[in-house]
Amino acid sequence: DSACVLPAPSLTLAAALGVGITVIVGDALHAALPFPPYTLPFVLAITRLAAFSLVSLEALMALKAYGFGENNWVKSQKTAAYQLMRYAQTGRRESLEQHDAAMARLAHFRNGRLHMLERPPDDEAATRELEAAGSPRTDITHGLWANRWFGWSWRFQEILELWAKADAIILELHPLRDT
């Protein structure tokens, strides 16, 4: 074994591959790597593509989760307004109870959003609130991932600002309940 000095990238690559390379002279390179050296660029490219695919899938799942949560939020908003209107027209206690249940779901959504916006985000509290609002845990996990990685982007901030403005409007329904 005659030792030779490898350039830093080769040492890093050897360490990343878990290959104990101390001597690489001529054909010893072929013996040290678990695959032919000319395939290394392809192995690295495929590894990068696999990592990119995983991140892309996670981003798609996060978008689906946000879509599902937004759908539940809108349904709760419409139910709250509609049932309050029905209560005003009919005086039926059942309509008022449905309004109150919808407003409670909206409060859980609002509290979940506020916990997500804390720095650092309180993922446990946000998860509790969003589960109480009716969101599945898997969707919450994906949504929190998106918030952690993309919460800084102006598009994401715009969505959260619109949500906050809508929450303020929804809160205006509460005084109408008691009139």
Q: What is the pLDDT of residue 75?
A: 95
Q: CA-CA distance, 97 to 74, in Å (whole number)?
A: 18
Q: CA-CA distance, 115 to 141, in Å (whole number)?
A: 14
The tens place of each residue's pLDDT in the chain, 179 residues long, gives 444 444 444 444 555 555 554 544 455 555 666 777 778 889 899 999 999 999 999 999 999 998 999 999 999 999 999 999 999 999 999 999 999 999 999 999 999 999 998 989 999 999 999 999 999 999 999 999 999 998 889 998 998 899 899 989 888 887 887 77
Q: What is the pLDDT of residue 136?
A: 95
Structure tokens at 133: 């609002």
Sign of CA dihedral 131, 134, 138, 143: negative
State the DSSP string of 130-160: HHHTT--HHHHHHHHHHHHHHTTSHHHHHHH
Q: CA-CA distance, 47 to 31, in Å (whole number)?
A: 22
Q: How far apart are the first and last CA of the chain?
A: 91
